């Protein structure tokens, strides 16, 4: 991550600039706007570091091992341990975000299962239109197999 000055800001100033930063983040709701802001605001290294940290936290919360996380994300054991420490001993903000992600994924998984059942039924047989549903089912299976999380 970027270096910060060794000279500390007065507490009031620090609180005001952190509040401004939080306000800026709260204004961004569309994914495209968030990507554009982060592209301009963060260095490539900062974007990678932050993206990996939230992914490490999510994988830890899902029960993945340190070894699996290190392998998939190409991170060190101390990096995984650092995120794990935050999750265990503080991390209220982490847990709020991760719980929302997991709830969304559960809802999404339910809809994915329903869609799979429907696609399986529609792609049975050899009648008119089944080719379209078979192609759609194949694309869905291919998309699912390429996801990491």
**Residue with more model confidence, 135 or 28:** 28
Please determine, for residue 11, whether its predicted confidence score (pLDDT) is greater than 80.
yes
Digit-coded pLDDT (tens) for 71-111: 999 999 999 999 999 999 987 888 999 999 989 888 887 87
Confidence at residue 2, expressed as pLDDT on a 0 to 100 scale = 60
The pair of structure tokens assigned to 128 is 């008119």
In whole angstroms, give the CA distance from residue 133 to residue 138.
Answer: 9
- Per residue, the 3-state secondary structure of 45-114, as one string, reads HHHHHHHHHHHHHHHHHCCCCHHHHHHHHCCCHHHHHHHHHHHHHCCHHHHHHHHHHHHHHHHHHHHHHH
The pair of structure tokens assigned to 147 is 């996801």
Confidence at residue 117, expressed as pLDDT on a 0 to 100 scale = 74
Confidence at residue 135, expressed as pLDDT on a 0 to 100 scale = 75
Q: How confident is the model at residue 129 (pLDDT cuts 50, 70, 90)?
A: low
Burial of 56 (0-12, 13-18, 19+ CB in 10 A): buried
**Residue with more model confidence, 35 or 126:** 35
Digit-coded pLDDT (tens) for 21-63: 999 999 999 999 999 999 999 999 999 999 999 999 999 998 9
The pair of structure tokens assigned to 25 is 């983040």
Please determine, for residue 17, whether its predicted confidence score (pLDDT) is greater than 80.
yes
């Amino acid at each position: 991550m970027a270096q910060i000055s060794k000279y500390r800001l007065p507490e009031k100033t620090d609180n005001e600039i952190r509040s401004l930063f939080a306000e800026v983040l709260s204004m961004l709701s569309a994914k495209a706007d968030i990507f554009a802001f982060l592209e301009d605001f963060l260095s490539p290294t900062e974007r990678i570091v932050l993206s990996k940290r939230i992914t490490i936290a999510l994988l830890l919360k899902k029960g993945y091992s340190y070894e699996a996380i290190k392998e998939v994300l190409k991170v060190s054991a101390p990096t995984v341990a650092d995120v794990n420490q935050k999750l265990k001993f503080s991390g209220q903000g982490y847990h709020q975000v991760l719980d929302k992600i997991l709830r969304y994924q559960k809802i999404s998984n339910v809809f994915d299962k329903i869609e799979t059942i429907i696609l399986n039924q529609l792609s049975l047989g050899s009648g008119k239109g089944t080719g379209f549903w078979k192609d759609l089912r194949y694309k869905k299976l291919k998309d699912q197999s390429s996801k990491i999380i």
